[in-house]
Amino acid sequence: MPAIKPQGNLYGSIGTNLLLMDIMGLATCLGFTGGLAAALGIFSAEAAAINDNIDTSKFMAEPITELKKLNESQDEMTTKMELLVLKIQADLCKSLQAYDDKKFVIDKWTRKKGGGGISCIIQDGTGFEKAAVLVSVIHGELSEDAIKRMKSRRGNIKGNLVPFFAAGISSVIHPRNPMIPTFHFNYRYFEIIDEDGQRHWWFGGGSDLTPYYLDVADAKHFHKTLRRACDMHNPTFYPKFKEWCDKYFYIPHRKECRGVGGIFFDDLDSLGHQGTFEFVKTCAEAVVPSYIPIVKKHINDGYGYAERRWQLLRRGRYVEFNLVYDRGTKFGLATPEARIESILASLPLVARWEYMNSPSPGSKEEELMKVLLEPKEWADDDE
């Protein structure tokens, strides 16, 4: 069968949000209003000119927090994290845009109870069937249920009226070409102040790769990029967070991993406030160099109907994990007055399920399945 290049897609959309785990699912799923800025692309230069210190022109839209407050609080972690996620969002969107003729839709929204976010989406594009790059910066008071769960995880929280701040970035990229893996990452910061004035904070995040066809060089490149980022701060982080990732993105009812993994961590504070931020910053800055070279390598690869069919079958597994096991998605769907479009923004446009599908022995599809059944140490030089 000759190689084909699809010319478009008329399938309907389905959407997801993996932005912030557990309580962080509030970031893009509670009540808010917002408008699309797709026709504008990057926001106006006039808005950037208002700011005397922070260069906002490099972002996809104006910051969620007002510029005056950001300028006056540049040493605060809340400001540092907001500026970081806005920069990473812009860096990734601009890098992805080079491989798609369709422009990002920019949806800036406001949360009624405090804060808001910026959702950048390519849907039904030439290079990407779905590319979602989501930022949230929200604040308010935790619900009673959230406070109970916080206390069960971090027992030294005092009081029943607990203000919180949460900032994060999350992205899932579903390419058209089956030779390009699906890519997911998220990095987040959460802080609360209890009734004694004690500040409690932590970071979480990770990055993982889900190929449809195994390219060993791609897996090695991805994992070695993450290992270098981790090793800059603590040489124990990569093996620990790699194992955590393999366990988290496991599909129990299929007895297989979702992809070839990456890193995953939560409740991290071991390097101190600034040190842990610097670690997260390094990991976030590794997003573009870990993934974009893989996109560039395979964007023009040929493929046929069989490869497309296998891609859709594997995307079915992606959907299964997100809807059945992912903590952020489950939390969002269970939240009253949730915005479903945001919760589901990272699901693929199309997926496929077949009864008793099994790859042919010796096939490329079987080659992938073998590594999904038993995770490998991709960053090792001898693999």
Query: Residues with catalytic annotation?
Result: 184
> What is the rounded distance in angstroms from the CA atom of residue 83 to the CA atom of residue 198?
24
E-only strand ranges, 196-260: 199-210, 250-251, 256-257
Residue carrying structure tokens 């249920």: 145
Of the candidates 215, 208, 378, the one whose C-alpha atom is nearest the C-alpha of residue 290 is 208
**H or E segment to which residue 167 belongs:** strand 163-175
Q: What angle do the packed helices 237-248 and 216-231 form, to 10 degrees?
A: 130
Strand ranges inside 64-141, DSSP E: 105-111, 115-123, 128-141
Question: Which residues lie closer than 8 Å to 7 by C-beta, 6 or more apart?
Answer: none
- Other CB atoms within 10 Å distance of the CB of residue 285: 15
| Full strand arrangement of the beta sheet holding 261-268 | 32-36, 105-111, 115-123, 128-141, 163-175, 182-193, 199-210, 261-268
Question: What is the rounded CA–CA span in Å between residue 381 and residue 302?
Answer: 30
Between CA 271 and CA 233, with CA 237 as vertex, the angle to 5 degrees is 50
**Is the distance from CB of 117 to CB of 137 less than 8 angstroms?**
yes
| Residues 23, 156: Cα–Cα separation, whole Å | 18
- Backbone angle region of 22, left / alpha / beta, with phi > 0 → left and psi within -120 to 50 → alpha: left
Cα angle 110, 25, 287 (rounded to 5 degrees) comes to 90
DSSP 107: E
DSSP bridge partners of 108: 35, 118
Check residue 144 and give left, alpha or beta (phi > 0: left; psi -120 to 50: alpha): alpha
